[in-house]
Amino acid sequence: MLGARRFRPVGSRPLFILGDRFFWRLTMGASSVEERVRAVTEQVAIDHGVELVHVEVAGPDNKPIVRIFIDKPNGVTHEDCSEVSFHVGTVLDVEDFIHASYTLEVSSPGLERGLYKRNDYERFAGNLVKIKTRNPISGQRNFRGQLIGISGDTVAVEDRTSGRVLIPFDSISKANLEMDFEQELRRARAN
């Protein structure tokens, strides 16, 4: 059975079965479409052994684009993306809280993946990053350099121009890993 709804009295939560997994209105407490998609996707990601990196809902209300980024230690495969897409899409269609035709995109986060969670700043310490802040810090909003890590609510970066900078986590508007293609080319030539 791919999907089913049981009719219950008003106010009860419907049951949805996908394989041997039960989905009880996972999204009841979520306030936005993006939060509701994230709640569904987190469960599907767990079931498929992948990490949910990020969810975003973009585009106009009448034709939204739902983007889901997943990862796993040895990288995600096309099959991983396809499976997550199928299962998330099925749940979204049954839950029907996106009231328009939508496009669902599931992919890896890429080489220059975004950093969204505090854990990302621990996991990728030592890597090159690009960080943009909401407000200037010492007159600067854009930082590029080596990620030192996170301690409490503060991210430390060894910025290429300013030296060591301490950035409040909540002031970060965007952060990505940055590839040093010249260094990668040198490594490839050395091997």
Q: Which of 86, 107, 128 corresponds to the end of one domain?
A: 107
Show the domain range for 126: 118-184
CA angle, 19 then 21 then 23, to 5°: 120
10 domain residue, yes or no: no
Q: Give the C-alpha separation, 25 to 14, whole Å.
A: 7
Cα distances (Å, whole numbers) of residue 84 to 39, 54, 111, 177: 13, 13, 20, 24
Segment 138-161, tens digit of pLDDT: 999 999 999 999 999 999 999 999
Q: What pLDDT was estimated at residue 53?
A: 97
CATH of the domain at 136: 2.30.30.180
102 and 141 together in one domain: no
| 2: in domain | no
pLDDT at 78: 97
Across the chain, mean pLDDT equals 85
Q: Residue 6: beta bridge partners? A: none
pLDDT < 50 regions, the chain: 1-30
Q: Name the pTM for this structure.
A: 0.76
- Residue 187: per-residue pLDDT: 77
| CB 95 within 8 Å of CB 157 | no
State whether 124 and 81 are in the same domain.
no
Task: Tell whether 69 is covered by a domain.
Answer: yes
